[in-house]
Amino acid sequence: MSGSVTDERSDADCPACGQRGLRVFFGEDSVPQNSCLLLDDPATAAGFPRGRLEIAFCHGCGFVTNTAFQPGSAEYSQRYEETQGFSGRFMAFAQELARRWVADYNLGNRTCLEIGCGKGEFLIEMVKAGAGNCIGIDPGVHPERIEDPEADQIEWIIDFYDERYTHIDADVVICRHTLEHIPNVYEFMSGIRRAVGDRPETVVLFELPNVARILHEVAFWDIYYEHCSYFSLGSLARLFRRTGFEVVELSREYDDQYLLIAAHPSPITPGAGEPLVAEDDMDELRQGVDNYRSGYQKLTDEWRDRLNALRADGGKAVIWGSGSKGVSFISNLDITDEVVAAVDINPHKWGKFMVGSNHEIVAPAALTEIKPDLVVAMNPIYLKEIQADLDALGVDAELVGL
């Protein structure tokens, strides 16, 4: 079921600052509760459990959250296939980031803990960049798929991070693209601060999506059930300070899609240090919420009209990217046969079906038989990479990015 804009008050407390009275600006009644699971047949995929979105904005701290999220409803397991590690563009970013973090924060031969390590690619790059022994915790990690010799320096824990692992003594705590999956972000960050304890030299490094870009671009494909928490640079820094961290660096990366934050434990709470210039973004966020509300219907109508017109003319469309963005794109547009398949470069997904629909996930090579007229890239940062694949296959299709 497609989403709709709204403007309502919620009695829920902000999970980041505790303020009562959030502004709900977007809702969707029936969205898949997962978007990265590997499902074997179209019936199971189409009938997968669904939940509700009530996306709300906190006027106190700028945090954005799904007030209808039900903890425990989204599955994270070894059938969760979220990795972007098959993309050369993405891995180049990860490699550069690992080298930068090791150099900038003097992490050579130091112990790294990564909370939510995914399939482990980034910890491999940290070791290659000079970090010492590492520990990766994630319920979806597959150690048997990791063939790099650097894996000998890494301990893999197939589990969720919680108080059972607060005894781990690490010089560096890394958390990439995990905090957005946590509903009670204040509690989560407070737990990490307690685990760090009285070790002021510990470096805490997080990476996560940038909600300011989502609001500005009306990127409805970047709002989905697993992401129950959305941050800007300002709201992220405010949460870190509120939970006892001193923020030392903030930046937007990857064509402004991602936020990076670096912090140290502070001896006082709120965290020591003056706010950075980048934290002053409350007006930008309020304008972004209004922009999303005013632009959502127009943008979704444009995409429906384009895909329907192509189908009416006998043309075929595919999407490139079967993960969360693709699932949300299809859900918001109520897509069925307007799109004939989802392409993905991750071979572990081939032959599976997208959660929430009956779209099969196919390899790029399948396009030589499908012969699409339109390829819609779920992330425009990969357009050059995708076009190179299409050219190599001899597929003459129009390529557009969201």
Shared-domain flag, residues 109 and 62: no
24 within a domain of the structure (yes/no): yes
Shared-domain flag, residues 59 and 116: no
Q: Report residue 196 as tokens.
A: 């760090």
Residue 2 pLDDT greater than 80, yes or no: no
Distance from C-alpha of 98 to C-alpha of 266, rounded to nearest angstrom: 24
78 within a domain of the structure (yes/no): no
CATH number at 208 reads: 3.40.50.150
Distance from C-alpha of 138 to C-alpha of 142, rounded to nearest angstrom: 9
Shared-domain flag, residues 10 and 103: no
Distance from C-alpha of 305 to C-alpha of 333, rounded to nearest angstrom: 10
| Averaged pLDDT, 356-363 | 94
Q: Is the peptide bond before 71 cis (omega within 30 degrees of 0)?
A: no
Shared-domain flag, residues 239 and 374: no
The strand pair at 154-157 and 134-137 is best described as parallel
The confidence score (pLDDT) of residue 229 equals 98
Shared-domain flag, residues 102 and 154: yes
Count of C-beta atoms within a 10 Å radius of residue 305 = 10
| Averaged pLDDT, 327-342 | 95
CATH number at 382 reads: 3.40.50.720
For residue range 247-286, list pLDDT tens digits in order. Answer: 999 999 999 999 999 999 999 999 999 999 999 999 999 9
What is the length of the chain? Answer: 402
Q: Report residue 377 as tokens.
A: 């890239």
**What band does 1 get if pLDDT is binned at 50, 70 and 90?**
low
Q: Report residue 362 as tokens.
A: 């196919």
144 within a domain of the structure (yes/no): yes
3-state class percentages of the chain: helix first, strand second, coil last, to nearest 5: 35, 25, 40
The confidence score (pLDDT) of residue 94 equals 97
Count of C-beta atoms within a 10 Å radius of residue 300 = 19
From residue 341, alpha-carbon distances to 78, 330, 348 in Å are 24, 11, 16
275 within a domain of the structure (yes/no): no
For residue range 141-198, list pLDDT tens digits in order. Answer: 999 999 999 999 999 999 999 999 999 999 999 999 999 999 999 999 999 999 999 9
| Averaged pLDDT, 337-342 | 96
The confidence score (pLDDT) of residue 24 equals 97
What is this structure's pTM? 0.96
Average pLDDT, the chain: 96
Angle, nearest 10°, between helix axes 88-104 and 383-393? 140
Distance from C-alpha of 312 to C-alpha of 93, rounded to nearest angstrom: 40
Q: Which helix (H) or strand (E) holds 368?
A: helix 367-370
Q: For the chain, how long is the longest CA-to-CA vector?
A: 66
Residue 329 pLDDT greater than 80, yes or no: yes
Among 60-69, 74-83, 262-271, 314-323, the range scoring the smallest mean pLDDT is 74-83
For residue range 111-143, list pLDDT tens digits in order. Answer: 999 999 999 999 999 999 999 999 999 999 999
* Number of domains composing the chain: 3
pLDDT-above-90 percentage for the chain: 97
Residue 401 identity? G
| Averaged pLDDT, 57-85 | 95
Shared-domain flag, residues 217 and 348: no
The confidence score (pLDDT) of residue 232 equals 98
Q: Which residues contact 388 (CB under 8 A, 6 or more apart)?
A: none
Distance from C-alpha of 63 to C-alpha of 56, rounded to nearest angstrom: 8
| Averaged pLDDT, 315-330 | 97
Shared-domain flag, residues 262 and 142: yes
- Give the range of the structural domain holding residue 201, as residue numbers without chain letter: 88-269+281-285
The confidence score (pLDDT) of residue 358 equals 85
For residue range 31-49, list pLDDT tens digits in order. Answer: 999 999 989 999 999 999 9
Judging by beta carbons within 10 Å of its beta carbon (0-12, 13-18, 19+), is residue 269 exposed, middle or buried?
middle
